[in-house]
């Protein structure tokens, strides 16, 4: 399995005395979209926040087990180094309000004090915005504030900002839940195109979205990984009874 | 039934009329103050009043140049001292909503805000004037900076609390270290609020007299040395107004006018900044 990007082994996460994730085992291979679905509060967001160690911002959390990103132990890396390799897109579009579109795309370089010649930055901005399917809409307004864009455009700007850092994996935390249906379908199409460049881990509570965009799906319920496999298989012949009940809308 | 509704309507009207009247009545004193100060003060204001030093008793003429320069120096001194402390404390409080230290600091800020200014003057006297054995601009600056602190701390804390958490997350998720996230993402987003707070605190201390009486003390000569006594507008008003000479009384009005213009200007600039620099999230 030299194609493995993310390997999660016996991974548990606790918040105080609550065990939020229970012995998760999961392998994500290169250039796919892996969806994590499950009802609210099942721990799927916690799981992807453990990948870039954003859960550590909340005091009282601890973990056990292992997580490896391209064969490097995530929990023996410096969080700052790790987070530069892992891109993240949040539920709510969050471009930096004080920065222009251009500055937003290269924010990962600028804020970290990474210097590059101007032409290289120009190039990074153009390539990232093209990958995020936003270039044509904003190429004449690169120096306007990012917050003037629509919600869907802002979210694509955030995707471009993450892509600009050439991440080894892109974490998507319910990236369309704050968007209207049209922006949602644009962004879903974008994910399918992005597969050739980057591996994605998508958290969604929308079953249809998981079905539309993902190659493999993990169903998490009450902190447990109930089922993990190719999306097509899981949606047609689920192995576990709970998966079937969830997919048919009996709970969740 | 009809009659009852009529009574209610009358009560409604009376109530609306009453709050309108009281609102007007409370704005009235401000207009009267401005009216008197302008009427009595504007006549003495000319270049010689603004550019001349106070003259000794017995000579006619004189002005408030040393007081204007002194007040500006005091503003700069107290700002230089209180702004870094105030902003840093505000950041700490907004970042640490719970915890022993932040709760203690928060309580201290409230107590400090309510401390009478004359007490702060005495403290500055004991801390700075007594050891240095001389009244000085720096001691006045320290007294005023203690008065500015609570305002800057509170506005910084409140401003930063309003900045959405997801901005901070966006920055941290890019691998930006915590200190850079605060300095380059969170603080710039709160710049307008923090600047407004600083200007309001400056407006507050510009007119303070009590803490200056035994710190900056007053000086009828021009002084730019921070270790020597320095003049200030409020002190000069006090000095002129307490004198038995009618000409000096008009000088007190003139200086009051200048002081009110200063304070008003800081308030208006603060309002302008909070409207202009407003950041849309």
The pLDDT > 70 percentage for chain A reads 99
DSSP, collapsed to helix, strand or coil, labels residue B174 as coil
Instruction: Work out the mean pLDDT of chain B and round it to a whole number.
Output: 91
B174 inside 8 A of chain A by CB:
yes
B169 in reach of chain A (CB within 8 A): yes
Where are the domains positioned within chain B? 2-44, 48-276
User: pLDDT tens digit string along B228-279?
Assistant: 999 999 999 999 999 998 889 999 999 999 999 999 999 999 988 888 887 7
A157-212 pLDDT, tens digit each: 999 999 999 999 999 999 998 888 988 998 999 999 999 889 999 999 889 999 99
Residue A147 to residue B281, Cβ atoms within 8 A: yes
Task: List C-alpha distances in Å: B189 to A110, B90, B253.
Answer: 16, 14, 42
B135 CB-near residues (< 8 Å, 6+ apart): B129, B214, B215, B216, B217, B228, B229
Considering only CB atoms, which chain B residues are within 8 Å of A145? 280
Q: Are B140 and B212 in contact (CB under 8 A)?
A: yes
Please tell me the predicted confidence (pLDDT) of residue A17: 87
pLDDT at B45 over 70: yes
- Chain B residues with CB under 8 Å of A91 CB are 166
| Cβ-based neighbours of B142, under 8 Å, separated by 6 or more | B77, B78, B81, B124, B127, B128, B215
Cα(A52)–Cα(A46) distance, integer angstroms: 10
Q: Assess if CATH 1.10.3720.10 describes domain B48-276.
A: yes
pLDDT digits (tens, 9 = 90+) for A85-126: 999 999 999 999 999 999 999 999 999 999 999 999 999 999
Cα radius of gyration rounded to whole Å, chain A: 18
Portion of chain B with pLDDT greater than 70, in percent: 99
Q: Using CA of residue A192, residue A195, residue A197, residue A200, what is the dihedral sign?
A: positive
Q: What is the predicted pLDDT for the residue at B1?
A: 59
Task: Assess B179–A contact: CB distance below 8 Å, yes or no.
Answer: no
| Contact yes or no for A94 and B166 at CB 8 A | yes
Are A83 and B173 within 8 A, CB to CB? yes
Number of residues that make up chain A:
252
Interstrand relation of A86-89 and A72-73 (parallel, antiparallel or unpaired)? unpaired
Residue with the larger pLDDT of the pair B13 and B1 = B13
What would the pLDDT profile of B48-100 be if each residue is shown by its tens digit? 888 888 888 878 888 899 999 999 999 999 999 999 999 999 999 999 988 89
Residue B172 buriedness (CB in 10 A; 0-12 / 13-18 / 19+): buried
Tell me which residue in B169, B180, B189 faces A111 most closely, judged by beta carbons.
B180
* Three-state DSSP state, B35: helix
Could you give the domains of chain A? 4-93+167-247 (3.40.50.300)
pTM: 0.85
- Stretch A49-56: mean pLDDT: 92
- What average pLDDT score do residues B19-24 get? 96
Chain A, nearest residue to B96 by Cα: A59
Distance from CA of A204 to the nearest CA of B (A): 18
What's residue A2's pLDDT?
Answer: 60
Q: Which of A50, A98, A159 to mutate to test the interface with B (most CBs of B within 10 A)?
A: A98
What is the reported pLDDT for A214?
93
CA distance B181 to B167: 9
Interface of B with A in 222-281 (CB under 8 A): 279-281
Of B52, B44, B37, B54, the residue nearest B250 (C-alpha): B44
């Amino acid at each position: 399995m030299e194609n493995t990007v993310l390997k999660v082994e016996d991974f548990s996460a606790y918040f105080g005395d609550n065990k939020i994730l229970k012995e998760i085992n999961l392998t994500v291979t290169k250039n796919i979209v892996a969806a994590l679905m499950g009802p609210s509060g099942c721990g799927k967001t916690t799981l992807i926040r453990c990948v870039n160690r954003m859960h550590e911002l909340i005091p009282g959390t601890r973990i056990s087990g292992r997580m490896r990103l391209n064969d490097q132990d995530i929990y023996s890396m410096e969080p700052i180094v790790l987070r530069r390799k892992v891109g993240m897109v949040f539920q709510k579009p969050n471009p930096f309000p004080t920065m222009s579109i251009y500055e937003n795309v290269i924010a990962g370089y600028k804020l970290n004090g990474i210097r590059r010649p101007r032409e290289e930055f120009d190039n990074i901005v153009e390539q990232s915005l093209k990958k995020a399917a936003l270039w044509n809409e904003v190429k004449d307004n690169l120096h306007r504030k990012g917050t003037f864009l629509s919600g869907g455009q802002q979210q694509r700007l955030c995707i471009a900002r993450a892509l600009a850092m050439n991440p080894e994996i892109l974490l998507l935390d319910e990236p369309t839940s704050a968007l209207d249906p049209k922006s949602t379908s644009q962004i879903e199409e974008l994910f399918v195109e992005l597969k050739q460049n980057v591996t994605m881990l998508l958290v969604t509570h929308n079953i249809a979205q998981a079905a539309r965009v993902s190659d493999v799906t993990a169903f998490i319920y009450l902190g447990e990984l109930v089922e993990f496999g190719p999306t097509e298989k899981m949606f047609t012949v689920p192995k576990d009874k709970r998966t079937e009940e969830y997919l048919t809308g009996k709970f969740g | 039934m009809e009659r009852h509704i009529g009574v209610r309507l009358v009560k409604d009207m009376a109530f609306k009329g009453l709050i309108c009247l009281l609102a007007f009545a409370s704005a009235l004193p401000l207009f009267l103050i401005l009216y008197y100060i302008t009427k009595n003060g504007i006549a003495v204001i000319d270049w010689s009043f603004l550019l001349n030093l106070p003259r000794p008793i017995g000579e006619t003429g004189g002005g408030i140049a040393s007081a204007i320069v002194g007040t500006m120096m005091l503003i700069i001194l107290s700002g230089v001292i209180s702004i870094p402390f105030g902003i840093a404390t505000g950041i700490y409080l907004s970042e640490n909503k719970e915890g022993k230290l932040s709760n203690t600091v928060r309580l201290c800020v409230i107590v400090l805000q309510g401390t009478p200014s004359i007490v702060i003057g005495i403290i500055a006297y004991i801390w700075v004037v007594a050891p240095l054995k001389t009244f000085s601009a720096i001691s006045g600056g320290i007294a005023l900076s203690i008065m500015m602190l609570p305002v800057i701390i509170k506005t910084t804390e409140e401003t930063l609390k309003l900045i959405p958490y997801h901005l901070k997350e966006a920055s941290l998720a890019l691998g930006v270290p915590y200190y850079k996230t605060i300095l380059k993402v969170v603080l710039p987003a709160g710049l307008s609020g923090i600047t407004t707070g600083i200007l309001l605190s400056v407006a507050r201390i510009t007119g303070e007299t009590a803490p200056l009486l035994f710190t900056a003390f007053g000086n009828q000569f021009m002084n730019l040395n921070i270790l020597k006594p320095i003049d200030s507008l409020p002190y000069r008003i006090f000095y002129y107004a307490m004198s038995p000479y009618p000409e000096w009384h008009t000088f007190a009005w003139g200086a009051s006018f200048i002081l009110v213009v200063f304070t008003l200007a800081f308030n208006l600039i603060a309002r302008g900044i909070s409207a202009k620099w407003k950041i849309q999230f």
